[in-house]
Amino acid sequence: DAKTTQPPSMDCAEGRAANLPCNHSTISGNEYVYWYRQIHSQGPQYIIHGLKNNETNEMASLIITEDRKSSTLILPHATLRDTAVYYCIVKGAAGNKLTFGGGTRVLVKP
Amino acid sequence: DAGVTQSPTHLIKTRGQHVTLRCSPISGHKSVSWYQQVLGQGPQFIFQYYEKEERGRGNFPDRFSARQFPNYSSELNVNALLLGDSALYLCASSFTGAESPLHFGNGTRLTVT
């Protein structure tokens, strides 16, 4: 599975949009981009995933560049409860092995 | 709907002992995976099971084993515990579709003394 690169940390103001970048320049054509977050002492929570089209659900939006080498997770209106470590993961269609990197530690401030 | 449930939530063991951790997947999910998360790091893949068969294994010693039952629940066993086995053990379940996302439980916190 392709490796991902994320900034180690970022701050966001409560009520504002949070844009979390992820680079995956070696992604293959059949690999998906998944986003998870982990709040302290809890298991990772699935947020969203996509292949090449932009995706939106009740939690977030995922924007994937046309060349698929990078993506952005958008939390439209960040709340204090969105403070967590966010992981961007690239995974092929086969198997359930998720390779977690360091993630981005997001701190939402009042 | 009930999510992935794991038991126990916390456990303290002594070096050399063995431990069994349990996981019940989300209803309808047939695939179960296990991950180890050491403090300060991201989760590391240990096993995947589907239809009671091992479908994937991470870089863990043979002291780690698992099985899946006909009701799709799963157990993770660790023998001859070492201090370094202290970690949060996470179970995740999913549908069998190729892109189906994994859904994680809140884990079992194992402390080896």
CA distance A1 to A26: 9
Closest residue of chain B to A44, computed from CA coordinates = B104
Q: Dig out the tokens for A27 from the structure.
A: 């992604």
- Tens digit of each residue's pLDDT (9 = 90 or more) over A45-92: 999 999 998 999 999 999 999 999 999 999 999 999 999 999 999 988
- Mark yes or no for CB contact B104/A96 under 8 Å: no
A68: alpha, beta or left? (left if phi > 0; alpha if psi -120 to 50): left
- Mark yes or no for CB contact B99/A51 under 8 Å: yes
Tell me the pLDDT of chain B (113 aa) as tens digits.
679 999 999 999 999 999 999 999 999 999 999 999 999 899 999 999 998 899 999 999 999 999 999 999 999 999 999 999 999 999 999 998 768 899 999 999 999 99
CA distance B34 to A104: 23
User: CB-based contact (8 Å) between A3 and chain B?
Assistant: no
Residues B44, B84 contacting (CB under 8 angstroms): no
